[in-house]
Structures are given as structure tokens and as C-alpha cells.
């Protein structure tokens, strides 16, 4: 497979697992393509063309030739200069030439434009019963806050390192978070837990969470207790770029939500959820990111590509 094909597969799988439904995502892409056709030549020139087929602003090819054939990949949760140097070192010193480095968390332009993917969260909240006007109203200031926040970051640091090292580098964030959310959605629906303890039991059957448990970072109850009944369970905090708005818990409670399963949660968010009597189960950050990445990496490995995990990626195969 080439770098371009790997990137294309990530987008295709991400759309297939999107909690908004594939149909909704494809129709939004179609509308954007129609708008693009009507733009002036100058505006077309400046337009980020990847947006015409990729609805995830935080997933991009960052450096290297897209047509390059890939036999061995180094994949991790966060890729910085150190991991890129390690990839070069593995090739030079151990005869393990790395053709492509894949980061889960965004870098370069994909990090600078992270906030653009957060609109997904309003649609997901709407599917769980929060009226769209409320979901959009609550998300809007938070999206602006994230957009301003990422501007302060030296977002191109790792991309510059990849270019200097001549390393192909891509990041696939929301595509993989969608895969994790879709997987967890099916698992929770199948197991139909009635208490928070039963949610923990269901999650701990997943190998990534079992391994995280051994590393003292397994799933935990953040709000509620083992015997608390779950009510309506939502997976609103697994995908969509980064944490949403802490104002949402009260709106969720009004929409009949009983329990949120998330990846990670700051204390100020936890306090708001507690105030709204919404239970929270935190599955774990690196483990959930690993789950999403693994579902994608399995497809690469099936096509004969060797995967070298690094940077917090708990590699578990499912074939």
C-alpha cells in the first residue's frame, strides 16, 4: 500500500464508523463539494482540497511522498522529534527501515485545525437527544476556545523534524476515535449493563483495557458508585477532537442521559457532571486511543504491512 492509500483507508473506515451515521457524513461532504464548485478560482486555489473527501480536519498526510510504497510502519499515540529520530535509528542501526510514521494525535496543519472537527460533537449529542440548537449553542464558545488555544502551540515542530529526516509522516485522529467509539457502542449495546460495575466489567473484557489495568490505568468510575444504575448510556466523549463543553452535563441530564462513558475528564468537568447527577465512567485515554488505532492497524497488517508500536500504543491484534 502507498501512503496515500493508507490515508484513504483511514478516512473510509472513519466515515464508516462515524456516530453521526455514514449517510449524514457523506451528504455533508457532497454539500461541501457543491459549494466548492461555485467558488472563484482564487478561493479554489486557497481551499484545503483534502476537505473535499476527508471530513476530519485532524487527520492528514504531513510529510513525504504520498505515492511511496509502505512495508513497515512505526505507529504511536504522540509522535514528536524523538520518535521520528527513533524511526530513523531503527533503520540505520537495526536494519528495520521505517517507511511511514503514523501518529494518532494530530500534528502540523491537522493540529492547527483541530477545532474544525469538534462540530461532530453537536451532531452526536443531538443523536443522544440533546436538541441541536442547545448542542450547537453550548459547543460554539468551546470550539472557539480550542481554536484560539492551538494557535499558541508550536504545531509544526514534529513535521519540520520529519522533513529534515526525510521521513513520511501522517496523523489519523478522529478517524480512529470513531472506530473506538463504534466498537464500544456495539459492545455496550450487546452487554446491556445495568450498573456502573457492569459497565466496568464489560470494558475490562476488552484487551486494551485489561492491559491498561495492569499498567494501573484501567477503566474507572469518576461519578457515581459501583451499584449506581446506568440509565441511558452515551459515548459522547470518545470522539470529536478534544473535550467538549463542561456546560453540557446539565443539558444531557435534561435530555434523559444517565451515564457518560468517556476517555478522560478534567476535574472541573467532573464536578459539573456530578452536580447534574450524570454518572461518569472513564475508560482510559491511551487505552481507548490504542483501541481505535488497533482496529485500523489490523487492516494494514492484514495487507502485509509490519507494525512497530511506540509512544503509548498498546498494540492488540484482532485477527
Residues engaged in binding Fe ion (CB under 5 A): 289
| C-beta closer to Fe ion: residue 228 or 242 | 242
Q: Which is nearer to Fe ion, 211 or 289 (CB)?
A: 289
Give 176 or 230: the residue with its C-beta nearer to Fe ion: 176
Give the distance, in angstroms, between the CA of residue 139 and the centroid of all CA atoms in the same chain. Answer: 18
Nearest-approach distance from CB 249 to Fe ion, in angstroms: 21
**Which of 113/289 has CB closer to Fe ion?**
289
Minimum CB distance to Fe ion, residue 288 (Å): 7
Residue holding cell 461532504? 29
> Least distance to Fe ion from the beta carbon of 285, Å?
6
Q: 10 Å Cβ neighbour count for 28?
A: 15
Q: Shortest approach of Fe ion to residue 289 CB, angstroms?
A: 4
| CB closer to Fe ion out of 68 and 264 | 264
CB of 225 to Fe ion, least distance (A): 27
> Closest separation between CB of residue 19 and Fe ion, Å?
16
Residue nearest to Fe ion (CB): 289
Q: Closest approach of Cβ 95 to Fe ion, in Å?
A: 32
Nearer to Fe ion, 76 or 193 (CB): 76
How big is the chain by its Cα radius of gyration, in Å? 20
Residue number, 58 or 99, with CB nearest to Fe ion: 58
Query: Which of 133, 141, 124, 117 is CA-nearest to residue 257?
Result: 124
The pairing of strands 169-171 and 306-310 is unpaired
Amino acid at each position: 500500500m502507498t501512503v496515500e492509500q493508507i490515508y484513504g483507508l483511514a478516512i473510509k473506515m472513519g466515515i464508516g464508523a462515524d456516530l453521526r451515521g455514514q449517510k449524514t457524513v457523506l451528504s455533508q461532504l457532497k454539500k461541501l463539494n457543491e459549494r466548492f464548485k461555485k467558488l472563484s478560482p482564487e478561493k479554489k486555489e486557497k481551499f484545503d482540497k483534502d476537505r473535499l473527501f476527508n471530513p476530519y480536519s485532524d487527520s492528514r498526510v504531513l510529510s513525504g511522498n504520498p505515492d511511496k510504497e509502505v512495508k513497515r510502519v512505526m505507529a504511536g499515540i504522540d509522535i514528536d522529534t524523538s520518535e521520528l529520530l527513533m524511526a530513523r535509528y531503527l533503520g540505520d542501526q537495526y536494519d528495520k527501515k521505517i517507511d511511514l510514521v503514523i501518529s494518532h494525535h494530530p500534528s502540523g496543519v491537522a493540529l492547527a485545525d483541530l477545532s474544525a472537527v469538534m462540530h461532530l460533537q453537536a451532531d452526536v449529542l443531538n443523536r443522544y437527544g440533546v436538541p441541536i440548537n442547545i448542542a450547537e449553542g453550548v459547543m460554539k464558545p468551546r470550539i472557539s476556545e480550542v481554536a484560539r488555544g492551538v494557535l499558541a502551540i508550536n504545531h509544526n515542530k514534529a513535521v519540520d523534524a520529519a522533513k529534515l529526516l526525510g521521513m513520511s509522516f501522517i496523523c489519523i485522529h478522529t478517524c480512529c476515535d470513531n472506530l473506538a467509539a463504534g466498537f464500544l457502542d456495539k459492545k455496550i449495546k450487546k452487554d446491556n449493563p445495568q450498573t456502573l460495575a457492569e459497565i466496568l466489567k464489560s470494558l475490562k473484557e476488552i484487551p486494551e483495557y485489561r492491559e491498561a489495568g495492569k499498567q494501573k490505568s484501567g477503566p474507572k468510575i469518576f461519578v457515581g458508585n459501583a451499584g449506581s444504575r446506568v440509565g441511558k448510556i452515551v459515548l459522547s466523549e470518545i470522539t470529536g477532537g478534544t473535550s467538549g463543553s463542561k456546560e453540557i452535563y446539565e443539558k444531557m441530564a435534561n435530555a434523559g442521559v444517565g451515564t457518560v462513558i468517556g476517555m478522560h475528564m478534567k476535574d472541573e468537568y467532573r464536578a459539573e457532571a456530578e452536580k447534574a447527577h450524570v454518572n461518569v465512567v472513564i475508560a482510559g485515554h491511551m487505552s481507548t486511543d490504542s483501541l481505535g488505532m488497533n482496529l485500523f492497524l489490523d487492516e494494514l497488517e492484514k495487507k502485509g504491512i509490519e507494525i512497530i508500536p511506540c509512544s503509548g500504543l498498546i498494540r492488540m491484534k484482532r485477527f
